[in-house]
Amino acid sequence: MAKRSITETSPIEVYRLLPRTNCAECGEPNCMAFATRLVNRELALESCPPLAHPEYAEALAALEALLAPPVRAVLIGTGDRECTIGGKYVVQRHEFTYHNPTACAIAVDDSAPLDVLQARVRAADSFSYNYIGRDLGIDAIAVRSTTGDPARFQAAVEAVQQACGLPLILCSPDPAVLRSGLVSASDRRPLIHAADRTNWQEMGGLALEFGCPLVVSAPDDLSGLRSLVRTFLAWGIEDLVLDPGTFPGAGLARTLRNFARCRHAAIRGEDDLLGFPLLGAPIAAFAGEEMDPIRCAFDEAITASALLSRYADLLVLQGTAGWSLLPTLFWRFNLYTDPRKPVAVEAGLREFGSPDRNAPVLITANYALTYFTVESDIKSANLSCYLVVADTGGLSVESAVAGRYFSAAGIAEAMASSGIADRVDHRVLVIPGLAARLSGEAAEATGWRVLVGPKDSSGLGPYLKERWPPGPA
Ligand code: SF4
């Protein structure tokens, strides 16, 4: 029988299985509120301490079954840097917010000198890009054996561990090579890559012996993949990751078809054997006939973006140049942002440069993309000014004006709560050009003289140069 979708699970069903004592130990006012947040995946069962009591063991098991994702969540790594992949409930993002963003791993080879390898690992670990207030970075390191030498692989794994604390993926088709890496790194719970139809017995043995998650690989062969998964489940190995094969370039459509088949079958409850996280390897773009590294990195970025959209839970990448890596990280950020909750910054007063009591006062919306664009334009124009950030519910200026989230009353409230009147001697406010139609009402509501600024904040520098200080009204 097909499993029910998470969107069909009601808070009432969950509530009936909770202790229903309304003790508030979970931080929620009552069990019903907890059930609602549980169904929305905003809280976990562990947040209800009474459920750990033996008398609720049966209810807990029922809740776990009710809330279990059709795609199993698999943990890689340990401690602060551990990452969870999979745990998906839906195919489309509009059905239910995506959880557990796709992990991005950078590959290193054991053929590289150890100091070079460590430098690459440190660069990957420290890679960080601030995108509308969020730091985007790398989640794991894939150590690949290209030498086939167990001693060399072990040295590479140890060097990587010394250089960073990121979760590891140990990659080799040879169980003897992987064993040497696992001996050094098993306490970091690395992901073993990969068991296939030639080595599955030895690889399954390694997964059991070291207690690590295992990748099951069957390129372009879903029935072979299912067969291997069935075997491993019978062995009691449940932390599995599926690798249905990645074929960049002309094979990309075939790759996406396989990924989509796995995910659709799992989410619709048609095939539990495919209900595991999916591993994509855009790095395969570097293994084809194309020898131009720029072209390979371009193909890798395209493959990565396509696989992000089509259900990959883990990507193994080669390119670390910003131009090839950032599109993947941006797309992941956008894909995994809850569409119901616009990305917002905190409302309040911001100060730029060294504003004095005659400095310009600007106002904008608290949509993150708007705010960081305005901030960047103010900084690049080297302006000294005050910026009042109004709470527009995370909407951009134009949308907020249309939806009346940015209104004359809202501007007056933002101005009052920011305390800006105490910071300047004048009473002149510059509003965004996209809110021009509010100028009259805003002047009335605030008692300030209102100037209409440019529609695009990149025009703030020239605008203020020409219009500030403002002449008499
Ligand atoms: S801790 Fe558990 S029992 Fe107590 S209110 Fe929260 S959900 Fe209910």
- 92: confidence class by pLDDT, cuts 50, 70, 90: confident
Is the CB of 31 within 6 Å of ligand 1? yes
Atom 4 of ligand 1, nearest CA residue? 23
Token output for 338: 């809850």
User: How do residues 441-466 score in pLDDT, each as one tens digit?
Assistant: 999 999 999 999 999 999 999 999 99
The arithmetic mean of pLDDT across residues 370-382, rounded, is 95
Number of the ligand 1 atom closest to the C-alpha atom of 35: 7
Write out the residue limits of the CATH 1.10.15.40 domain(s) in the chain.
6-67
The answer for 64, left when phi > 0, alpha when psi is -120 to 50, beta otherwise, is: alpha
Residue whose pair of structure tokens reads 């690459």 in the numeric block: 120
CATH code, 348-467: 3.40.50.11600
Q: In this predicted model, what pLDDT tens digit does every residue of 187-209 receive, in sequence order? A: 999 999 999 999 999 999 999 99
Instruction: Give the pLDDT score at 113.
Output: 96
pLDDT of res. 1:
45
Q: Is the CB of 269 under 6 A from ligand 1?
A: no
Report pLDDT digits (tens) over 16-41. Answer: 999 999 999 999 999 999 999 998 88
Cα 361 to averaged position of ligand 1 atoms, centre (Å): 48
Domain boundaries for CATH 3.40.50.11600 within the chain? 348-467
Q: Which atom of ligand 1 is nearest to the CA of 21?
A: 3
Q: Which residue among 34, 37, 42, 55 is best mutated to probe the pocket of ligand 1, counting the most ligand atoms within 8 A of its Cβ?
A: 34
C-alpha to C-alpha distance for 406 and 400, rounded to whole angstroms: 5
Q: Is the per-residue pLDDT at 473 higher than 80?
A: no
Q: Which two tokens stand for residue 252?
A: 């990309």
**442 cis-preceded (ω within 30 degrees of 0):** no
**Whose Cα sits closest to atom 8 in ligand 1?**
31
Q: How far apart are CA 103 and CA 300, in angstroms?
A: 16
Q: What pLDDT score was predicted for residue 318?
A: 95
Higher pLDDT, 249 or 448: 448
Q: Where in the chain is the domain with CATH 3.20.20.20?
A: 73-335
Cα(71) to centroid of ligand 1, in Å?
27
Q: What is the mean pLDDT of residues 414-438?
A: 96
State the pLDDT confidence band at 4, using cuts at 50, 70 and 90.
Answer: low
Phi, psi angles (nearest 5°) of residue 278: -110, 135
- Helices assigned H by DSSP within 310-446: 322-335, 368-380, 397-402, 408-418, 439-446
18 touches ligand 1 (CB under 6 Å): yes
Question: Which residues, in sequence order, are CB contacts of 379 under 8 Å at separation 6+?
Answer: 352
Q: Say how far apart CA 9 and CA 121 lie, in whole Å.
A: 43
Average model confidence (pLDDT) for the chain?
A: 94
CB burial class (10 A; 0-12, 13-18, 19+) of residue 459?
A: middle
pLDDT tens readout for residues 175-186? 999 999 999 999
Class (C level, CATH) for 73-335: alpha beta
Question: Of the CATH numbers 1.10.15.40, 1.20.1050.10, 3.30.70.100, 2.60.120.200, which one belongs to the domain with range 6-67?
Answer: 1.10.15.40
Q: What is the pLDDT of residues 48-59, one digit of tens each?
A: 999 999 999 999
